[in-house]
Amino acid sequence: MIDFSLSSELADLRDRTAAFVRDGVIPHEREVDAHGELPAETLAALRAQAREAGLYAPHVQKEWGGLGLDMRAISIVFEEAGYSLLGPLALNCSAPDEGNMHLLELVATEAQKEKYLRPLVAGTIRSCFSMTEPPPGAGADASMLRTRAERRGDRWVINGDKWYITGADGAAFTICMALTGDPKSAGQSGGRARHATMFLVDAGTPGYRVVRRIPSLDSGAPGGHCAVEFRDCEVGDEAVLGAVGEGFAYAQLRLAPARLTHCMRWLGAARRALDVAADYANTRESFGQPLGRHQMAQAMLADSAIEIQAARLLIWHAAWMLDTGADARHETSMAKVFVAETVNRVIDRALQLTGSHGVSDELPLAALYRNARPFRIYDGPSEVHRIVIARNVLKAAAIASAERHVHSAEGGEA
């Protein structure tokens, strides 16, 4: 039955995560460099503290060193982690590693898990996910994939360019998505049918190269957003992640929760922005009274509070669906659009409320403003999700209409 209560264990975990972020992580925010990265030793220290506090890697199964939470519990904890842009790094649950860990848990061989998953969870290495390509390759439309892995003897030879690969600089390995189908059919439309495979490619493999960091509006995760190339990059069968030809299916497998975990973290960031704005409104005077007494400020605060609450509930609902094993693509798409747009609106309002302080480095809002903007684009731009959602709506309406007709036909016979 509909219930929004948390178990006392989960409420406790939430509170401890919140306290850790507030007292342990936020004080280090000023130490990030121009790329948004913490000094390595600081990060290591934070992770050690998180591990000790029993907060580390909440999304990873216990056998691999995590907390083994389900998606609903992850929703609670990731929101708290996201309250600081550094929180997910400290808990080792930030993108793209978090999604890669999830995928490895699901489809990697034991050997691959030992080689890649274990150190990733431990935090001794980083990873990246090589999917997006420069035009005319795969972007919002994944079916436009052009990177190709060809069978040569018992080896695979990968060729192609990747673009905006988050975390690539310094990553120990990448998961590379490449076409492996019959090249003769590759020119045809109908991306679904196209045959792609994921490969685990170690840094240092000849032919695999991080070309450059792409300067971006957001400071990016550790390792930046990079242009990456594969030039006759040769790997063996042990590099195949899961089954040959299942690349697109795995991408969905990775994305369904990854899309939602992004929402969870960013929801925490939105709450941070609202709190910063509310603190400012409580203390700063303007036109003879505290800013928070001005109705235009109140309207902004209220809208942000409402939208954050709605965003949270959309996340929880989709998480619950994933926990029940249901197909939650419709629900994660709805959550993605709403949360991404809410987060941007909430941060924008907080900036507006805090004025020149908001756009300066005195408050964390300018950084949030820059970093949150791409979230309306990655993991599927809002527009693509809207198309998917609308198609579901139309299909459901068509089915209901058909049923009504059957029903009235039967009624007519009676």
What's the angle, vertex CA 50, arms to CA 44 and CA 51, rounded to 5? 90
Identity (one letter) of the amino acid at 142? Answer: A
Report which of 261, 246, 168 is spatially closest to residue 213, judged by C-alpha positions: 168
Rounded to whole angstroms, the Cα distance separating 402 from 241 reads 42
Residue 223, phi-psi category: left (phi > 0), alpha (psi -120 to 50), beta (remainder)? left
Q: For residue 317, state whether it binds a copy of itself (rule: CB under 8 A).
A: yes
Q: For residue 275, state whether it binds a copy of itself (rule: CB under 8 A).
A: yes
Chosen residue from 17, 127, 132, 261 binding a copy of itself by CB under 8 A: 132
Q: Which is nearer to a copy of itself, 47 or 72 (CB)?
A: 72
Chosen residue from 129, 230, 250, 369 binding a copy of itself by CB under 8 A: 369
Rounded to whole angstroms, the Cα distance separating 168 from 158 reads 17
Q: For residue 3, state whether it binds a copy of itself (rule: CB under 8 A).
A: yes
User: What does the block give as tokens for 287?
Assistant: 């036109």
Number of residues that bind a copy of itself (CB under 8 A): 106
Rounded to whole angstroms, the Cα distance separating 183 from 179 reads 9
Q: Which is nearer to a copy of itself, 60 or 138 (CB)?
A: 138
Interface segment toward a copy of itself; rule CB under 8 A; list 38-46, 82-90, 130-138, 255-263: 130-138
Q: For residue 286, state whether it binds a copy of itself (rule: CB under 8 A).
A: yes
CB of residue 289 vs a copy of itself: minimum separation in angstroms?
Answer: 10
Which parts of 34-53 interact with a copy of itself (CB under 8 A)?
A: 34
- DSSP annotation of 189 reads S
Chosen residue from 31, 296, 327, 405 binding a copy of itself by CB under 8 A: 296
CB of residue 3 vs a copy of itself: minimum separation in angstroms?
Answer: 4
3-state secondary structure (DSSP) of residue 162: strand
Which parts of 190-249 interact with a copy of itself (CB under 8 A)?
A: 214-218, 225
As a whole number of Å, the CA-based R_g of the chain is 23
Interface segment toward a copy of itself; rule CB under 8 A; list 56-64, 149-157, 179-187, 304-312: 304-312
Report which of 99, 125, 375, 123 is spatially closest to residue 254, judged by C-alpha positions: 99
Q: Which is nearer to a copy of itself, 124 or 282 (CB)?
A: 282
Identity (one letter) of the amino acid at 225? Answer: H
Chosen residue from 114, 243, 298, 327 binding a copy of itself by CB under 8 A: 298
The pattern of x and - marking residues 55 through 84 that bind a copy of itself according to CB under 8 A reads -----------------x--x---------
CB of residue 299 vs a copy of itself: minimum separation in angstroms?
Answer: 5
Which parts of 331-360 interact with a copy of itself (CB under 8 A)?
A: 331, 334, 337-338, 351-352, 355-360
CB of residue 246 vs a copy of itself: minimum separation in angstroms?
Answer: 23
Q: For residue 303, state whether it binds a copy of itself (rule: CB under 8 A).
A: yes
- Cα separation values, 80 from 87, 112, 243, 265, 390, Å: 8, 31, 36, 8, 32
Q: For residue 299, state whether it binds a copy of itself (rule: CB under 8 A).
A: yes
Chosen residue from 106, 243, 394, 406 binding a copy of itself by CB under 8 A: 394
Chosen residue from 170, 207, 245, 374 binding a copy of itself by CB under 8 A: 374
- Cα four-point dihedral sign 51, 14, 218, 357: negative
Burial 171-201 (b: 16+ CB within 10 A, else e): bbbbbbbbbbbeeeeeeeeeeeebebbbbbb
Rounded to whole angstroms, the Cα distance separating 300 from 277 reads 10
- Cα separation values, 361 from 112, 270, 344, 356, 368, Å: 43, 17, 18, 10, 11
Chosen residue from 48, 106, 243, 302 binding a copy of itself by CB under 8 A: 302
